[in-house]
Structure 1
Amino acid sequence: MTYKKLHEWDLSPEEAMKIQNVLREKILFKPFEGEPKYVAGVDLSFPKREEGLAVIVVMEYPTFKIVELVSERGKVDFPYIPGLLAFREGPLFLKAWEKLKTKPDVVVFDGQGIAHPRKLGIASHMGLFIEIPTIGVAKSRLYGTYREPENRRCSWSYLYDNEEIIGCVMRTREGSAPIFVSPGHLIDVESSIRLVKSFTLPGRRLPEPTRMAHIYTQRLKRSLF
């Protein structure tokens, strides 16, 4: 099972799960020191069953001024299977990534990091390809147990896999459902929490990088499809 095989993406679900179990051992956790200069947000949409759209927005930090926007539209072969979404979404993301001229210091995905049954959500999986710190920020829980955070902005509680901390559940806006934050690759849980807090503006539920990526995904989807 090699990266060449992964780039082919022509796998059965059983083969994909075996690859996840191998690659999970390659994930590294480390503190993110200081503040980023550029941060990217990633969002993917599938307007048609066999066609998808990937958008990457790169922003200055802390102004959140957009400095670059790239997208990729293409055919999707892998079926929608929860827990294996990286095999469906990854090829489009990697093609969009090749277009980027601005290298971000951290990349935030609309999806999971290690808060995943095999510790390899899209943020972790793609982190192994791009070798840049990645964070998963999901709008719903895929895996793990937690205590509901208090109903106030930026309150949070840890997300657990048994006794292992795999991320956090963060209430970014009072009265809103929480988001699920987990490290992807080359970053740890505490740094992921700190950065997502700093990326989320008052009154917003989602961090700016993925919020803006989603907005542009919807705009492009309307114009292209």
Structure 2
Amino acid sequence: MNFENCKGMSEEEMQEKFRAFQEELSSRISCADSFHLSDIKTVAGIDLAYWQNENGDEQAVCCIVIIDFTTHEVIERQHFSGKINVPYMPGFLAFRELPLILETVKLLENIPDIYIFDGNGYLHPRHMGIASHASFYLDRPTFGIAKTYFRADKKTDYTEPSPESGSFTDIVIGGEVYGRALRTHTGVRPVFVSVGNNISLDTACNIALTLTDKESHIPIPTRLADLDTHVMREKLRSQN
């Protein structure tokens, strides 16, 4: 989608255009594995951080960290920053973030086997959170890990999983599984896993658990990407 075509539109016009685009893409989402787990060698985590410059313009930086799936060694780090041109509208976050994500991906010297987003995918009113939306431009399986719960239908809550590590409860809306509340460490708050594209929810949760160490309750790639966004935001702020 050409975001330049949205300049001059009202928020209502944008939402109408964005919703139609999401509905078109959502029919192409696959919640089945398109790969064998043994084929996964590298995994990328993606996150963004926002701020306003001295002129009041909204800025953001996207950070991507790629690690070795087996050793958890960091292979590559990249970032890209720029102005955000799409206003915040609930349910349409991907349209704000995708341009910076794709520019950051262009900088990668290593193409990861899978992308994990700090955010949602299928857990969205039209199943088109950033992890799903971005998948159509990345040509790789994707899924989302959110630290806070997003009510995709504005009313359905989740059921707390039991306290043990690895326990989970599915998030079911209208008889359909939208995502999963997953406990990655015993006694800590759960994370919220949802399919992006070309991966099953079971496999996404297995990967999330495999990549979560004792340092945090979120997987290493997205944790490192999150930390990098804070560092880069402060650095870039000081340059404005």
- Which of 144, 153, 174 is residue 162 of structure 1 equivalent to? 174
Partner of 2:210: 198
- CA separation of 1:13 and 1:193: change in aligned 2, threshold 3 A: same
TM superposition shift of 1:82: 2.2
Q: Which runs of 5+ in 2 are unaligned?
A: none
The normalised TM-score by structure 2 is 0.87
> 1:97 is paired with a residue of what secondary structure?
helix
CA distance in 2, matches of 1:34, 1:55: 25
- CA separation of 1:7 and 1:176: change in aligned 2, threshold 3 A: farther
- The answer to whether structure 1 residue 24 and structure 2 residue 32 are counterparts is no
CA distance in 2, matches of 1:99, 1:9: 26
Aligned length: 222
% of aligned pairs identical?
33
Report 1:179-194 matches (<5 A): 179-194=191-206
The answer as to whether partners of 1:7 and 1:91 remain within 8 angstroms in 2 is: no
AA partner of residue 48 (structure 2): L
AA partner of residue 132 (structure 1): R
- The answer to whether structure 1 residue 78 and structure 2 residue 99 are counterparts is no
The answer as to whether partners of 1:153 and 1:173 remain within 8 angstroms in 2 is: yes
CA distance in 1, matches of 2:42, 2:3: 28
Partner of 2:41: 37
CA distance in 2, matches of 1:16, 1:220: 30
Following TM superposition, the consecutive aligned residue runs of length 4 or more in structure 1 with deviations greater than 6 angstroms are none
Deviates more, 1:140-149 or 1:14-23: 140-149
CA distance in 2, matches of 1:184, 1:6: 21
TM superposition shift of 1:175: 3.0
- The answer to whether structure 1 residue 210 and structure 2 residue 222 are counterparts is yes
Partner of 2:134: 126
CA distance in 2, matches of 1:98, 1:8: 22
CA-atom RMSD in angstroms? 1.7
- CA separation of 1:131 and 1:175: change in aligned 2, threshold 3 A: same
AA partner of residue 229 (structure 2): T
The normalised TM-score by structure 1 is 0.93
- CA separation of 1:53 and 1:139: change in aligned 2, threshold 3 A: same
TM superposition shift of 1:210: 0.2
CA distance in 2, matches of 1:6, 1:190: 34
CA distance in 2, matches of 1:60, 1:169: 26
The answer as to whether partners of 1:145 and 1:160 remain within 8 angstroms in 2 is: no
Deviations for 1:154-202, whole angstroms, at most 9, x for unmatched residues?
Answer: 2111111221112210112233221100010111111111111111113
